[in-house]
Amino acid sequence: MVPSGSRGAELTKPYGDAPGERGLELIKDADLDRIIRAARQKGFQVNTHAIGDRAVRRVLDAYQRGGVTSRERFRVEHASIVADNDLPRFTQRGVIASIQPVFVGEYSRWAEDRVGASRVHWVLRTHDLLNAGVILAAGTDYPASDSGSPIDTLYCAVTRRGADGNPVKGWYSDQRIDVDQALRMMTLGPAYAAFQEKDLGELTVGRYADFTVVSANPYTVPVQALRTLAVRLTVVAGHVTFDGGDHQAAARP
């Protein structure tokens, strides 16, 4: 299902700026049920792209009809517009919301025109999803998004500004989350979503030595300065894959 900026996201009610349009239905319920049934029989995880509120609801309905359980860790990719009544449905079946905080930049530019004032608070509701107990896995969706930088992902999630720093006051700033929450949904969340939480997501004995060293401590720098962080070193499975030097300076808080 394509981004709502193109009015392709499937909505329950028509678009605010196009009363005759409700978006695109790219798969029928019966076909989705068939795919879910076949995947479960073979032990495959299902990750379904859904952006509009009707698309998200249809996916959750399909997972419910299929008897999906939390141990299967099925996902809704993007989950960009989620109605109030559907928030608890994620937790009921352990469905993961795979989100991209950097979209706050472009959503702030046109989302209210597209869906109207009564629904715009359903868009990219990160804080609400966390409060509802939904497991979040954050990524960039680059090159479809404004930025492919994880630094920008962190900055956007914490400030509700786009990668370019706008809007200055943040877009629906009640949906901000703190640095710790953002880092967890960028690390532990994706590891869990990929069934790799025993190997990735945290630095502990027995896990892969995958980590990134940045130029300052994200927990202590002013939140507005998060996007100025620079990557100094990356290590994948114990092997240095990027070395920018100045590691001692990077390690100091």
Tens digits of per-residue pLDDT, 95-152?
A: 999 999 999 999 999 999 999 999 999 999 999 999 999 999 999 998 888 899 999 9
Residues 158 and 241 in one domain: no
What pLDDT score does 2 carry? 37
Neighbours of 211 (CB within 10 A): 14
Instruction: State the Cα–Cα distance between residues 168 and 160, nearest whole angstrom.
Output: 9
Residues 213 and 197 in one domain: no
Instruction: State the Cα–Cα distance between residues 204 and 212, nearest whole angstrom.
Output: 15
Residues 78 and 153 in one domain: yes
Report the residue count for the chain.
Answer: 253
Residues 100 and 115 in one domain: yes
Neighbours of 74 (CB within 10 A): 25
pLDDT classification of 5: cutoffs 50, 70, 90: low
Residues 111 and 217 in one domain: no
CB 113 within 8 A of CB 17: yes
The C-alpha angle with vertex 100 and arms to 98 and 103, in degrees rounded to 5, equals 145
What pLDDT score does 145 carry? 86
Residue 235, domain extent: 209-253
Residues 114 and 63 in one domain: yes
Segment 201-212 shows an average pLDDT of 94
- The whole model's pTM is what? 0.92
How does DSSP classify residue 207? S
Residues 72 and 28 in one domain: yes
Residues 193 and 221 in one domain: no
The domain tally of the chain equals 2
Residues 54 and 137 in one domain: yes
What pLDDT score does 79 carry? 97
Work out the end-to-end distance of the chain between its first and last CA atoms, rounded to an integer number of angstroms.
43
